[in-house]
Chain A
Amino acid sequence: MHNTIRIIDKRDAPKDAVMIFGFPDVGLVGVIASSHLISELNLQEVAYVDSDLLPPITVLHEGLPHSPIRIFGNHNVLLAVSETVLREDLVYPIMHSLIDWGRSKEVKLMISLSGIPIPDRQDLEELKVFAAASNPELLKMVEEKGIEILKEGYMVGPQAVMLQYCATLGIPAVTLLTQCFFNYPDPEAAAKVLERLMGIIGLKVDVSKLLEKGEEIRLKARDMMKRTQQELMKMKKTQEFDIPLYIT
């Protein structure tokens, strides 16, 4: 096997599920939110990514090796999460493989959870969540749920590839972006994005523990955040601050 990405199934995945994505990005919003979902919903490992394109890393849990990119799930939710930052050149192949896998499981909606960095984040008491979607009907749906639309701008990272690829394939997809710190783990932003996710898919998750454990999470997530920062710089993540030139 060379230069391939395989997704190895460990158990049956449900059909018509909602597939959620949480990858290392600004504020580690998606990863923190995903980690909370896994423990609160008691999600089980459904599949994992195996590839010689990935760095030679295995994640040990209870002494056993695990792929850094795994898919968890229950009867109606699938959740793809990465415990290592994706190298810039791997974002496309990994995201495409995960979406193709989700499509083969007849996923009905894909949602990525992430953040949108904002200067002076520490002065904000109330965080806003923005959304972008793969088609106008979905945009209308999220707007009706009270979520503001990210109308113009740039999106950089796994969630950008996910949204674009889903739009190309005609798969319903939404990206939720909460205002957050650029370079610091942001559990408050993760709680906020989960609240909005619950509003969209009717899921019930208690986020109070996430807020209570905020300081602990910030301390634990420092090393992952540091490595993510390095990769975000290579990805030109700061382009999200740019004002786009509108071409209609």
Chain B
Amino acid sequence: MESRKRRAFFDIIDEYFERFEELANRLEEVFFEKPSWNCKTCTIEPLREIKVTPNEVIVTVDLPYAEEKTIKVIPVGKDRISISAEMKRKVSFDDFGITHYKGEFQRFHCEARVPVPVYTDRMEVQFKRGMLEIRLPRKHEYEIPI
């Protein structure tokens, strides 16, 4: 009974932090809007979505034109993952009908912030019909700083 209560308490705290992280991510998007492309690095930022379930975090990334063999998912620190992929063909602003910018893109790149602790060494990656899916098991341990 006591352990159930304690778990419930930690669940509430956990949920609170998840909500706070979600809000922080939204604010980051709103206040730090930037183009979805970078001419210097010739990269395009793909659309992505992060879903937190009780047991895992699922990150999906839309990668049209991506060459499957070149997809890299690399953990960066404790709470971020870097995702990159080469494109099958170069895409330029001209392809979008845009003439006031110049530049070519041949790579996708983005960094995704994982809002809860996860085991990055146990992640599973799947690529299907241009959609990348990364599954990261959640850590349910609490570190109490002394």
Contact = CB atoms under 8 A, between A and B. Distances in A.
Interface of A: 122-123, 182-185, 214-216, 218-220, 222-223, 225-226, 230, 233
Nearest to B46: A222
Given A219-B91, A222-B36, A214 B47 contact: no
Interface in B91-132: 91, 95-96, 128-131
A218 B130 CA distance: 10
A182 B96 CA distance: 24
A230 B28 CA distance: 12
Contacts of B47: 183-184, 222, 225-226
15 contacts: A122-B128, A122-B133, A182-B49, A183-B49, A184-B47, A214-B64, A216-B95, A219-B64, A219-B65, A220-B96, A223-B36, A225-B47, A226-B36, A230-B30, A233-B26
Nearest to A227: B33
Contacts of B129: 122
A218 B36 contact: no
Contacts of B64: 214-216, 218-219
Contacts, number: 42
B49 A215 contact: no
Q: Is the interface of A mostly helix, strand, loop or mixed?
A: helix
Interface of B: 26, 29-30, 36, 44-47, 49, 60, 62, 64-65, 91, 95-96, 128-131, 133
A182 B62 CA distance: 12
A233 B64 CA distance: 24
A64 B17 CA distance: 49
A183 B60 CA distance: 10
A226 B62 CA distance: 12
B130 A215 contact: yes
A60 to B, nearest CB: 10
A225 B96 CA distance: 16
Counting from the closest, the 3 A-B pairs by CB-CB distance are A215-B64, A218-B64, A122-B131
Most A-side CB within 10 Å, residue of B29, B62, B96: B62
B35 to A, nearest CB: 8
Contacts of A214: 64
A63 to B, nearest CB: 10
Contacts of B91: 219
A3 to B, nearest CB: 26
Contacts of A225: 47
Contacts of B30: 230
B20 to A, nearest CB: 17
B71 to A, nearest CB: 15
B21 to A, nearest CB: 16
Contacts of A216: 64, 95
